[in-house]
Amino acid sequence: MEYIYYGIGFLAACVLAVILTPAVKRFAFMVGAVDKPNQRKVHTRIMPRLGGLAVFLAFVGAFFVIAPMTDELNWQVSSALLIGGSLIVLVGALDDRFDLSPKVKLLVELIAAMVIVFYGDIQIDLVNLPFGDTFETKWLSVPLTIFWIVGVTNAVNLIDGLDGLAAGVSGIANGTMLVMAIMMGNVTVILFSALLLGSIIGFLFYNFHPAKIFMGDSGALFLGFCLATLSVLGFKQATMISFIVPILILGVPLSDTFFAIVRRKLNKMPISVADKNHLHHCLLQLGLGHRNTVLVIYGVSLFFGLCAILLSQTSQWVAVVLIAVILIILQLGAEAIGIVGKSKRPVLNLFLRARSKNVSK
pLDDT computed for residue 45 by the predictor: 77
Give the number of other CB atoms < 10 A from CB of residue 242: 19
Burial class (CB in 10 A: 0-12, 13-18, 19+), 31: middle
Amino acid at 60: V
pLDDT computed for residue 261 by the predictor: 86
Asked if 38 and 99 count as a contact pair (C-beta separation under 8 A), the reply is no
Contacts of 176 (CB under 8 A, 6+ apart): 249, 305, 306, 308, 309
List the end-to-end C-alpha distance of the chain, in Å, as a whole number: 68
pLDDT computed for residue 339 by the predictor: 81
The strand pairing partners of 136, in sequence order, are 126
Amino acid at 99: D
Question: Can you give the length of the chain in residues?
Answer: 361
Residue 291 sits at φ, ψ, to 5 deg, of -65, -45
DSSP per-residue codes, 47-96: EE--HHHHHHHHHHHHHHHHGGG-SS--HHHHHHHHHHHHHHHHHHHHHH
pTM (two decimals): 0.89
Give the residue numbers spanning the domain of 321: 2-360
pLDDT computed for residue 174 by the predictor: 94
pLDDT computed for residue 160 by the predictor: 86
Domain count, the chain: 1
Burial class (CB in 10 A: 0-12, 13-18, 19+), 125: middle
Residues 308, 247: Cα–Cα separation, whole Å: 8
In eight-state DSSP terms, residue 286 is T
Per residue of the chain (361 residues), give pLDDT as tens.
567 889 999 999 999 999 999 999 999 999 999 987 766 555 567 899 999 999 999 999 999 999 888 877 888 999 999 999 999 999 999 999 998 999 999 999 999 999 999 999 888 775 555 555 555 556 778 898 999 999 999 999 988 888 999 999 999 999 999 998 898 888 889 999 999 999 999 999 999 988 999 999 999 999 999 999 998 887 654 444 455 777 888 888 888 888 888 888 877 777 767 777 788 888 888 888 889 999 999 999 999 999 888 887 776 677 778 888 888 888 888 888 888 776 677 777 777 676 666 655 5
Asked if 122 and 80 count as a contact pair (C-beta separation under 8 A), the reply is yes
pLDDT computed for residue 240 by the predictor: 41
Give the number of other CB atoms < 10 A from CB of residue 282: 21
DSSP per-residue codes, 162-189: STTHHHHHHHHHHHHHHHHHHHHT-HHH
Residues 340, 318: Cα–Cα separation, whole Å: 30
Amino acid at 224: G
